[in-house]
A and B are shown apart, each in its own frame.
Chain A
Amino acid sequence: MEILVASGIGVLTMVGLYLVLSRHSFPVIIGTTFLSYAVNLFLFAMGRLSIDKAPIITKGVTDYTDPLPQALVLTAIVISFGMTALVVVLALRGFLETGTERLENGEAHRRARARKAERR
């Protein structure tokens, strides 16, 4: 189970990182979503992986699992959910105002291209 979870987190992070490095806004958004999935899974696993154990003190039970990571992960999920919504709106507004979803530093890029065209 450890290997499965660990490699799952690894693959999610890898996909996320690759997409975040993209030149267009949409893949970047998907990339950050993948990264936040990866970190949520990671936070779950940080209380150790265990099956069939009680999280809350109960009579006659000696084996417990850590209940805290769930609380942490809930906070992280809420925040990353909100941030994803915000960044989607931001990218959409950007697309509507500039007509492109390319992410280069707009003005400098355009000026450089214009200068090159002039020289020709």
Chain B
Amino acid sequence: MTNVAIRLEDLGKKYRIGAKQPYHRLSEQMTDWAAGMLRLPGKLTKSNREEQQPRSDGEFWALRHINVEIVQGEVVGIIGRNGAGKSTLLKLLSRITEPTEGRIGIRGRVGSLLEVGTGFHPELTGRENVFLGGAILGMRRNEVKQKFDEIIEFSGVGPFLDTPLKRYSSGMQVRLCFAVAAHLEPEILIVDEVLAVGDAEFQQKCLGKMDDVATSGRTVLFVSHDLSNIERLCSKCMLLEQGRLAMFDEVHQVVENYSSYGSISTPVEQQLAELPENEFIRLNSVRVFQKNVETNSLLNGDPFDVEIQCKVFKTHPQLRVCLELFDPMGNMAFVSYHDAVDREQHKLSIGHANLRATVPGNLLAPGNFSLRIGASIFRQFTLTGRHVHVPINLARSGRVDIDLDVPRYVAPFWPEVLWAQEQGDGD
């Protein structure tokens, strides 16, 4: 029998959204109580409430129907776009909030690190904060005492131990906070994206620490947007998408799938149809051409065009259509605006508009990229919500001619770099 450490059974979490949140109204509560006291038929009130549930000011499922078993000792990455439910899942696992449906089974002591420095107090000294922070994360005083020197050494704030935390530089604060957390030794460790803090050197130190944790046989759940960290640390990976578990598999498989996001994302026509309404502009179509043939399978050596057809209802000096390109790791490679070259000439006027953006050849590396097309009132607000995602696949064809066979994606760009060489006489 495999040793399961975490078992999620049909897990779901519903939140109420809308202007009235987050307080439920006292008056509503009181009528509920009154109804209870008067012994109104319980079924009646309940069914009434059930009917009211899908109200427009309503509710949404941050997570739903999650079924997963995680074996002890596995290091599991959790990835997904913003709002996919990653943080909610971590909160449920660390018992900060209760599930709305389903259940979570956990075997072993859980330590969670959702934020660096939770509970640290600016007025207390570094030393006092180490004990405070440790206790909050669930460490015993003795445990902290034992590891105290180690923690201080790791943080590198030794000389300032008896100075109040508020006098620390923010970098020092973060280092101290993370140092405490890094010495937490639960059987199950839950870590949110906390490595994104501190300078590069300290980040490497943290990653090293995470490596230690990962190889020490503990179960770790780790959220990050940095796919390279996920691939480096984790053996398995969960991909969440809009509150559902889209994938749970061996890490490279999931990361690759997530990178070539196209396979899971909704068709472009549907995305266009679901864009939020606004008074300025409507995107009607987004198509990709190479050599005047419409296709999403492109050659990296040749330029390609992105054609955007839209209708403008109302002009605005800052109304802009943008084209963003994301690399296979999900990082933005570049962003470009339709009027970048000449703002006067490219100002959008009322009526139909046909925009064409040409991305040069010999620029991108082969791989699964994704385009994001949207419109916004520049620096104020977006008009197209999450924008339209268009997956494109670039195959290798460029003049960049090397025999090196790069098996996996290494970098977004692969331009033609000109090398020159001068050789000496060899003495």
A and B interact: no
